[in-house]
């Protein structure tokens, strides 16, 4: 059931937030041993927030479509009194008593946090200190991408929605792999205070849901200017449900899924073939170069102290960071100049 439908049930008092929270906590505990998608349960906090949501509703106060709705956060997003492990053996007991901006926004909307969800170690891929997060549609496969927990939990119906993050593919890849709808917003749409950073110029936060309408509602709640994140800004959103799609023109690439193109055409959208003036691999190479150097700046002490020897996937970040250490300032700036040419796609 969608977030919007669950929200209507709560608003009409056909179910309480406390009851709904109990249902999803049971689902999380039932399926997590198979999927390995939850780092920690926030059960005490969840019931506290659910009871508060029910109390407000009994007083005639309804905070909006997320009032009383359970959800999960990728475990790079800090919540006071609970571990924020970054998926890493080094930080698995870390508690950051900071309220992340996105958590504040959801709390003010009446949403109920039920779990911190798996992130790939240091927000890279789907390998973390507890193993590898499985794909609910085929548990012989992994979820891929560092937002593995949000994707798997939402796909399996363990939670109505979740918040994940992306630096270079960690929302889009696991969403595609796990068959859920996710939204990777434009850079700067959602504040990142209280969130582990890989790259200040690339990091983004976005929702994982079971349909596009839910994504729109959640983005509307979490977007906006974060006073402690200078890259964030208020972006006009409007009413996504009143858009006349017949006035849209959508470009499609040679390798596009033509079934999607035909659906758009059938709804009156004008679709036109489109060719990129660059290759995906060339842009990905630029992004990876920038991301590696940026990450080294954040985790320099971690690497130099030898803690990267404990990293869960030795053929990934440790190798990349050692290579990044020999990059010159000139090379880095030249790549930044190249990156500016592709800013609109970020």
DSSP string for residues in 279-301? -HHHHHHHHHHHHHHHHHHHSHH
Q: Report the Cα 175 to chain-centroid distance in Å.
A: 10
Q: Report the Cα 121 to chain-centroid distance in Å.
A: 15
Distance CA 20, CA 244 (A): 35
222 close to 189: Cβ distance less than 8 angstroms: no
The catalytic site residues sit at 74, 146, 170
Distance CA 158, CA 148 (A): 13
Q: Which residues contact 107 (CB under 8 A, 6 or more apart)?
A: 49, 99, 113
Beta strands (DSSP E) in the chain are 38-41, 70-74, 112-117, 127-128, 131-132, 134-135, 138-142, 162-166, 181-182, 204-209, 249-252, 270-273
Comparing CA positions, the residue from 54, 43, 42 lying closest to residue 13 is 54
Q: Radius of gyration of the chain from Cα atoms?
A: 20
Q: What is the DSSP letter of 138?
A: E
């Amino acid at each position: 059931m969608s977030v919007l439908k669950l929200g209507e049930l709560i608003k009409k008092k056909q179910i309480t937030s406390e009851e709904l929270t109990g249902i999803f906590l049971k689902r999380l505990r039932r399926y997590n041993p198979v999927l390995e998608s939850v780092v920690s349960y926030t059960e005490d906090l969840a019931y506290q927030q659910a009871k508060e949501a029910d109390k407000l509703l009994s007083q005639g106060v309804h905070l909006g479509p997320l009032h009383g709705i359970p959800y999960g956060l990728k475990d790079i997003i800090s919540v006071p009194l609970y571990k924020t492990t970054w998926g890493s053996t080094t930080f698995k007991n870390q508690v950051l008593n900071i309220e992340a901006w996105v958590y504040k926004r959801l709390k003010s909307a009446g949403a109920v946090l039920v779990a911190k969800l798996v992130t790939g170690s240091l927000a890279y891929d789907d390998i973390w200190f507890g193993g590898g997060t499985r794909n609910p549609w085929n548990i012989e496969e992994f979820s891929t991408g560092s937002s593995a927990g949000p994707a798997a939990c939402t796909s399996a119906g363990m939670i109505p929605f979740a918040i994940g993050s992306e630096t270079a593919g960690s929302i889009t890849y696991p969403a595609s792999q796990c068959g859920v709808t996710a939204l990777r917003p434009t850079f700067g749409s959602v504040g990142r205070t209280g969130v582990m950073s890989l790259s200040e110029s690339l990091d983004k936060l976005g929702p994982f849901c079971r349909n596009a309408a839910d994504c729109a509602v959640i983005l509307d709640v979490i977007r906006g200017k974060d006073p402690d994140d200078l890259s964030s800004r208020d972006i006009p959103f409007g009413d996504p449900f009143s858009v006349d799609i017949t006035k849209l023109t959508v470009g499609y690439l040679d390798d596009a899924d033509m079934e999607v193109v035909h659906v758009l055409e059938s709804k009156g959208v004008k679709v036109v073939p489109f060719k990129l003036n660059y290759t995906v691999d060339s842009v990905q190479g630029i992004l990876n170069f920038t991301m590696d150097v940026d990450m080294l700046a954040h985790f320099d002490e971690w690497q130099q102290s030898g803690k990267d020897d404990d990293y869960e996937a030795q053929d990934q970040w440790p190798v990349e960071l050692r290579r990044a250490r020999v990059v010159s300032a000139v090379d880095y700036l030249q790549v930044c100049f190249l990156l500016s040419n592709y800013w609109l796609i970020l």
